[in-house]
A and B are shown apart, each in its own frame.
Chain A
């Protein structure tokens, strides 16, 4: 019997992921054994502790990365500088959005429904209206985040696929858990699940094609095959297209964005915030790795096509944002457009493109989490009042929150002294340096279009008289206040003093093949 060769496993490098998965398992046990009354607190503390611990190990790892120790588990996972930066960014953004999960002062029992399976409108549904919400979201979020960490460090397409599923499945579930507007929430979860499965199928099919071309699924093999293979590249291009579609679905690029508005609107707002910041970051991390490490040799093939996708994404996001009347949908289309801007940086195809995309992801993540946190504050008897008309005159009612929201919208619009400006400036600059000026032209044009819906919200808040239906802004609890504070301060700081993060992103912008 031949001796099986066991892979080397660098547990220290994998520790952040292992902590998250382990904590998630403990979280599942807590669901079983800890009394319901204290469960929320225990779960929240455990999840936060796990994330902080994971973050500590990510930071400790920083600076110790070498070409030798980056790859582990037989090359399935690659923890290089870029991967480490993405891990850190995901953990920080996840940590901030997790605070929103724990908020319980805005609504009795929190934003999540106790038993999602109970038929909407039934007797039991009315009974559970006052019960404490499901605490399963914490382990689900941990599983999802662990999957994302794996996704951005995956060094072959199969690991990447597994990670994709690991982080997607909990998300589908979490989308269905809204306490209010439950039918909408369930519908969104089902749509997300179906389309997600559909996109995964594309991805997997693509992996098979690429295996056929490169006789391997790890990025080094693909890289070599793209550079030197005698085989006809048709298989490669079909595979690349299909894999890219799977990833473009996750980043919400047009025309694979169709799920975004429905899901962003239907999902519980904390989950939306988590998705908008972390899913986007993770998917971009993976896309960057696939395109920069595996398929860099096919750059001349994919750049024009993905450029067209980017332009379409920006156009669709910006133009459709104009007629939205629901704030969460508006932010969803804004998120689509931002995916386009991120792709502009990515297609710059140089080191600047990489670092500016990383900066953009972090900057955008903070702003969008704060924006959704604020959306969760404007409530009436039916939960969040997300229709635009309900925000009219909010500036008179609560100048502080309207002011913060205005600031965040200006950041989305890319006004100087906000992180949005530095981020857009970075990606556009990188694209120009990479000879992709046409993308920048579209980027600037759509930014102008996109400024309109943002400013319309601002005008509504400040220049309209508050109507009788204008809801008041709830006083946020400690957790939401913390999220708002962190998000707003980060948006301001990254706009005024972007230096440290830019430097960090610059150091991180190197892959190991």
Chain B
């Protein structure tokens, strides 16, 4: 197998890196500069950046729930993507299987929704 197949990937890496560098470099020049206390706080998934003195750093389970819900749908996308690519080849069988898969995830989603997993409070 020739390495030429990987050239687009290298290109993609280069593009991504360039975009990142460009964004960071250009932001101080074009963005407005308005500072306040909240803005100076580091964002870290809702967790207070310094450890809480009591309880050894306990924090609400809600964040985990949200993160786990995200992962579930993330995985769904990961499965959907290769299917979409080879949709022609898999045909009706692939379509039915994928519908079943989506239904299964949807069942879980409904459960979470009905049981209040999506309510923040």
Q: Does B associate with A?
A: yes
A→B interface (CB under 8 Å): 1-4, 6, 25, 28-29, 31-33, 117
**In angstroms, how far is the closest chain B Cβ from the Cβ of A442?**
47
Q: How far is the CA of A33 from the CA of B110 in the complex (A)?
A: 9
**Is A4 a contact partner of B104 (Cβ separation < 8 A)?**
no
Query: Which of B89, B104, B107 is close to A1, meaning CB atoms less than 8 Å apart?
Result: B89
Q: How far is the CA of A28 from the CA of B88 in the complex (A)?
A: 33
**Is A31 a contact partner of B89 (Cβ separation < 8 A)?**
no
Q: A4-B89, A28-B107, A117-B61 are in contact. List 14 more A-B contacts (CB 8 A).
A: A1-B88, A2-B89, A3-B89, A4-B90, A6-B93, A25-B103, A25-B104, A29-B111, A31-B111, A31-B114, A32-B111, A32-B113, A32-B115, A33-B114
**Is A32 a contact partner of B114 (Cβ separation < 8 A)?**
yes
In the complex, which residues of chain A have a beta carbon less than 8 angstroms from the beta carbon of B108? 28
**Is A25 a contact partner of B107 (Cβ separation < 8 A)?**
yes
Instruction: Count residues of chain B with CB under 8 A from any CB of chain A.
Output: 15
**Is B89 a contact partner of A32 (Cβ separation < 8 A)?**
no
Which 3 pairs of residues, A with B, have the shortest CB-CB distance? A32-B114, A4-B89, A25-B107
> Cβ of B36 < 8 Å from any Cβ of A?
no
**Is A29 a contact partner of B61 (Cβ separation < 8 A)?**
no
**In angstroms, how far is the closest chain A Cβ from the Cβ of B116?**
10
In the complex, which residues of chain B have a beta carbon less than 8 angstroms from the beta carbon of A117? 61
**In angstroms, how far is the closest chain A Cβ from the Cβ of B4?**
21
Interface of B: prevailing SS: helix
When C-beta atoms are compared, the residue in chain B nearest to A33 turns out to be B114
Tally of A-B Cβ pairs under 8 angstroms: 28
Q: Can you show 26 pairs from A to B with CB atoms below 8 A apart?
A: A1-B88, A1-B89, A2-B89, A3-B89, A4-B86, A4-B89, A4-B90, A6-B93, A25-B103, A25-B104, A25-B107, A28-B107, A28-B108, A28-B110, A29-B107, A29-B110, A29-B111, A31-B111, A31-B115, A32-B110, A32-B111, A32-B113, A32-B114, A32-B115, A33-B114, A117-B61
In residues 74-111 of chain B, which contact A (Cβ within 8 Å)?
Answer: 86, 88-90, 93, 103-104, 107-108, 110-111
B→A interface (CB under 8 Å): 61, 86, 88-90, 93, 103-104, 107-108, 110-111, 113-115
Q: How far is the CA of A118 from the CA of B86 in the complex (A)?
A: 46
In the complex, which residues of chain B have a beta carbon less than 8 angstroms from the beta carbon of A25? 103-104, 107
In the complex, which residues of chain B have a beta carbon less than 8 angstroms from the beta carbon of A31? 111, 114-115
When C-beta atoms are compared, the residue in chain B nearest to A21 turns out to be B104
Which of B90, B111, B113 counts the most A-chain CB atoms under 10 A from its CB? B111
Q: How far is the CA of A3 from the CA of B93 in the complex (A)?
A: 13
When C-beta atoms are compared, the residue in chain B nearest to A3 turns out to be B89
In the complex, which residues of chain A have a beta carbon less than 8 angstroms from the beta carbon of B111? 28-29, 31-32
**In angstroms, how far is the closest chain A Cβ from the Cβ of B59?**
13
**In angstroms, how far is the closest chain A Cβ from the Cβ of B38?**
30
In the complex, which residues of chain B have a beta carbon less than 8 angstroms from the beta carbon of A6? 93
**In angstroms, how far is the closest chain B Cβ from the Cβ of A63?**
30
**In angstroms, how far is the closest chain A Cβ from the Cβ of B119?**
14
When C-beta atoms are compared, the residue in chain A nearest to B86 turns out to be A4
Q: How far is the CA of A29 from the CA of B110 in the complex (A)?
A: 7
Q: How far is the CA of A33 from the CA of B113 in the complex (A)?
A: 11
**In angstroms, how far is the closest chain A Cβ from the Cβ of B36?**
35
When C-beta atoms are compared, the residue in chain A nearest to B88 turns out to be A1
In the complex, which residues of chain A have a beta carbon less than 8 angstroms from the beta carbon of B89? 1-4
In the complex, which residues of chain A have a beta carbon less than 8 angstroms from the beta carbon of B110? 28-29, 32
Q: How far is the CA of A6 from the CA of B97 in the complex (A)?
A: 12
**In angstroms, how far is the closest chain B Cβ from the Cβ of A7?**
9
**In angstroms, how far is the closest chain B Cβ from the Cβ of A275?**
24
Q: How far is the CA of A28 from the CA of B114 in the complex (A)?
A: 10
**In angstroms, how far is the closest chain B Cβ from the Cβ of A34?**
10
In the complex, which residues of chain A have a beta carbon less than 8 angstroms from the beta carbon of B113? 32
When C-beta atoms are compared, the residue in chain A nearest to B112 turns out to be A32
Q: How far is the CA of A32 from the CA of B89 in the complex (A)?
A: 37
In the complex, which residues of chain B have a beta carbon less than 8 angstroms from the beta carbon of A33? 114
**In angstroms, how far is the closest chain A Cβ from the Cβ of B114?**
3
Q: How far is the CA of A6 from the CA of B107 in the complex (A)?
A: 27
In the complex, which residues of chain A have a beta carbon less than 8 angstroms from the beta carbon of B115? 31-32
Which of B88, B103, B107 counts the most A-chain CB atoms under 10 A from its CB? B107
In the complex, which residues of chain B have a beta carbon less than 8 angstroms from the beta carbon of A2? 89
Q: How far is the CA of A32 from the CA of B93 in the complex (A)?
A: 30
**In angstroms, how far is the closest chain A Cβ from the Cβ of B40?**
33
**In angstroms, how far is the closest chain B Cβ from the Cβ of A46?**
14
**In angstroms, how far is the closest chain A Cβ from the Cβ of B100?**
10
Q: How far is the CA of A28 from the CA of B115 in the complex (A)?
A: 11
When C-beta atoms are compared, the residue in chain B nearest to A24 turns out to be B107
Q: How far is the CA of A438 from the CA of B61 in the complex (A)?
A: 54
In the complex, which residues of chain B have a beta carbon less than 8 angstroms from the beta carbon of A3? 89
